[in-house]
């Protein structure tokens, strides 16, 4: 305890440090005579109202650049700037369950503010790589297509790649309601204001909300708040993990987090790179996602949604995130257009840990269904125009015969609950109808899903 207090005291700076505004640069403000560190929380005096909170984001020459949290309106040359805190923290505790928080960790659901048990820094370091136990237990997400065909483990990190309007929020709501995790922490970053209550009341529901903490920063709020909301939600998830809980962490979306960092980085004078993203964005994303995962105390199973522009899954943010995570789930606009929900394109999706989590029988069964789905997709045009003659190819015949049953297995109503055990049982029952599954299993040649 004493060592911890000494460490905190060494990080404290005197709050009497002040400076004065010399100019505004777009959404940032330059302050003279203000030697404080990046990430410090400051206040800008304003003659036309209360002080404006801001955060230090960089330096330019002799000036310190601060980013106001409410815009630059009302700031004028000569306004005094005061240091409030040398780093930003968020209050944590079990009292946050069932609450909706803003980027600062304040409850914004019109209920009394809870008393925090502790406070954690927003910019915490990820756990040491050698301290992480192997992921060897499955987690039920409540979505049959994921639990059966893309089985995930406690502490795994997965990306959900999709364009707009293909059912991301509904899928996340199903996971929050039906997951086997102890606690949900949900970060809604850059959402439209209308969608926040829609997600909480329609998709999450009372059952999911009771064991969830929701952190919100809407699209109209400054970029610094959108970033802080993501970091605050991650710190809250880390608190519950350190209490021995299995946490399901969901961020919608990591793309808007990256866009917020792009806005801040460019305002601080960073050079733009691919599609205007500054180098700091590519450095910050790994630090963010590495903070989740499994530790000896508990686990954070993380799902990050990625908005793909024009359904292009190779744009910079999507490509970077895919390389950082332990799997990816692609939501298909084509499937959504057919009324197939959740619109998970199984053939384009992968769980990199499924091979280590399921039995050989389930692994083989998942490969058999993938093969049948691929066979049907390759010959779909011939089948639809009647050019394929039944009996020409046994594999195609089997794919046609089981097409509807496979689709029924992958579809799931919003109010229908699933788990890993039932998903695997239904998968194996479906595979037993396929005669082509027997040779591979009998020969003992069980390929690994995703193996090269």
Tens digits of residue pLDDT in 12-68? 555 578 999 999 888 899 999 999 999 999 999 987 788 999 999 999 889 999 999
pLDDT attached to residue 368:
92
Q: Residue for token digits 């815009």?
A: 71
205 — pLDDT class (breaks 50, 70, 90):
confident
pLDDT given for residue 97 in this prediction:
93
CB atoms inside a 10 Å sphere around CB 170:
16
Q: Which of 163-167, 171-175, 422-426 has the lowest mean pLDDT?
A: 163-167
Q: Give the helix/strand (H/E) hosting 181.
A: none
Rg from Cα positions in the chain = 25
Q: What is the pLDDT of residue 311?
A: 63
Using the predicted structure, report yes or no on whether residue 126 has a pLDDT greater than 80. Answer: yes
CA distance 151 to 365: 13
Query: Domain 90-356 adopts which CATH fold?
Result: Rossmann fold (3.40.50)
Q: Span 147-156, mean pLDDT?
A: 95
Highest mean pLDDT among 38-52, 291-305, 370-384 belongs to 291-305
Q: Are 356 and 156 spatial neighbours (Cβ–Cβ below 8 Å)? A: no
Query: Does residue 80 sit in helix, strand or coil?
Result: strand
Within 8 A by CB and 6+ apart from 23, the residues are: 29, 30, 77
Give pLDDT tens digits for 339-360.
899 999 999 999 999 999 999 9
Residue 15: CB atoms within 10 Å: 12
Over residues 390-394, mean pLDDT: 86
Rounded to the nearest 10 degrees, the angle between the axes of helix 360-378 and helix 394-410 is 110
Phi-psi region for residue 396, left (φ > 0), alpha (ψ -120 to 50) or beta?
Answer: alpha
Contact by Cβ (8 Å): 57, 34: no
pLDDT tens track for 86-114: 888 999 999 999 999 999 889 988 888 88
Residue 269, classed as helix, strand or coil, is: coil
CA distances to 345, 377, 433 from 371, in Å:
14, 10, 14
Distances from the Cα of 70 to the Cα of 74, 357, 412, angstroms: 10, 47, 42
pTM over 0.85: yes
Highest averaged pLDDT of the listed ranges 107-111, 122-126, 298-302: 298-302
What the block records as the tokens of 166 is: 């293909």
Mean pLDDT of the chain: 88
Q: Which CATH class is domain 13-87?
A: mainly beta
* Domain 13-87 identical in fold to domain 90-356: no
| Mean pLDDT of the region 284-288 | 93
Least-confidence region, from 178-192, 208-222, 385-399: 385-399
Give Cα separations from 329 to 4, 13, 18, 106 (angstroms). Answer: 41, 45, 49, 33
Q: What is the pLDDT of residue 440?
A: 42
pLDDT band at 444 (very low <50, low <70, confident <90, very high): very low
Domain boundaries, the chain: 13-87, 90-356, 361-436
Quote the pLDDT of residue 446. Answer: 43
Structure tokens given for 266? 């460019």
Q: How far apart are CA 120 and CA 212, in angstroms?
A: 19
Helix, strand or coil, per DSSP, at residue 440: helix
254: which 2 tokens? 């990591």
Beta pairing partners, 191: 218
User: Coil, strand, or helix at residue 191?
Assistant: strand
Domain 361-436 is of which CATH architecture? Up-down Bundle (1.20)
pLDDT of 445 reads: 46
- Which residues, in sequence order, are CB contacts of 236 under 8 Å at separation 6+? 90, 92, 96, 101, 105, 120, 185, 213, 215
What does residue 446 show for φ and ψ, rounded to 5 degrees? -105, 105
Listed in sequence order, the residues at least 6 apart from 118 whose beta carbon sits closer than 8 Å to its beta carbon are 91, 92, 93, 239
CB-based contacts of 375, cutoff 8 Å, min separation 6:
395, 396, 398, 399
Q: How sure is the predictor about 7, in pLDDT bands with cuts at 50, 70 and 90? A: low
Alpha-carbon dihedral 225, 174, 311, 289, rounded to 10 degrees = 50
SS (H, E, C) 361-430: HHHHHHHHHHHHHHHHHHCHHHHHCCCCCCCCCHHHHHHHHHHHHHHHHHCCCCCCCCCHHHHHHHHHHH
């Amino acid at each position: 305890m004493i060592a911890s207090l000494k460490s905190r005291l060494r990080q404290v700076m005197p709050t009497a440090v002040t400076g004065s505004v010399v100019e505004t640069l777009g959404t940032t403000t330059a302050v003279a005579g203000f030697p404080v560190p990046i990430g410090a929380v400051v206040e800008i005096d304003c003659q036309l109202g209360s002080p404006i909170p801001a955060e230090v984001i960089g330096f330019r020459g002799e000036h310190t650049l601060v980013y106001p949290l409410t815009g630059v309106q009302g700031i004028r040359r000569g306004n005094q700037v005061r240091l409030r805190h040398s780093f930003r923290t968020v209050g944590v505790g079990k009292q946050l369950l069932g609450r909706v928080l803003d980027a600062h960790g304040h409850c914004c659901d019109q209920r009394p503010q809870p008393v925090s048990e502790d406070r954690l820094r927003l910019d915490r370091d990820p756990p040491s790589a050698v301290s992480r136990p192997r992921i060897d237990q499955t987690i039920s997400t409540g979505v049959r297509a994921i639990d059966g065909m893309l089985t995930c483990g406690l502490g795994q990190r997965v990306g959900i790649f999709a364009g707009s309007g293909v059912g991301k929020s509904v899928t996340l709501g199903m996971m929050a309601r039906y997951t086997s995790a102890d606690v949900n922490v949900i970060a809604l970053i850059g959402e439209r204001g209308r969608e926040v209550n829609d997600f909480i009341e329609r998709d999450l529901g009372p059952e999911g909300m009771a064991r969830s903490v929701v952190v919100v920063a809407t699209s109209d709020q400054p970029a610094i708040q959108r970033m802080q909301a993501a970091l605050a939600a991650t710190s809250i998830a880390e608190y519950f993990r350190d209490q021995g809980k299995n946490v399901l962490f969901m961020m919608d979306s990591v793309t808007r987090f990256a866009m917020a960092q792009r806005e801040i980085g460019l305002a601080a004078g960073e050079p733009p790179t691919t599609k205007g993203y500054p180098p700091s964005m590519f450095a910050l994303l790994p630090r963010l996602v590495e903070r989740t995962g499994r530790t000896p105390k508990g686990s954070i199973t993380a799902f990050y949604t990625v908005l793909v522009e024009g359904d292009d899954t190779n744009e910079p943010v999507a490509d970077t995130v895919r390389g950082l995570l332990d799997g990816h789930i692609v939501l298909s606009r084509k499937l959504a257009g057919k009324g197939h929900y959740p619109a998970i394109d199984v053939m384009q999706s992968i769980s990199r840990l499924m091979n280590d989590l399921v039995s050989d029988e389930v692994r083989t069964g998942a490969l058999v269904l993938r093969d049948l789905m691929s066979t049907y997709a390759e010959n779909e045009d011939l089948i639809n125009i009647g050019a394929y003659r039944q009996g020409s190819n046994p594999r195609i015949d089997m794919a046609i015969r089981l097409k509807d049953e496979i689709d029924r297995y992958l579809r799931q109503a919003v109010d229908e609950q699933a788990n890993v055990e039932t998903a695997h049982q239904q998968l194996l029952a479906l595979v037993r109808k396929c005669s082509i599954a027997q040779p591979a299993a009998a020969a003992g040649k069980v390929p690994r899903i995703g193996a090269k």
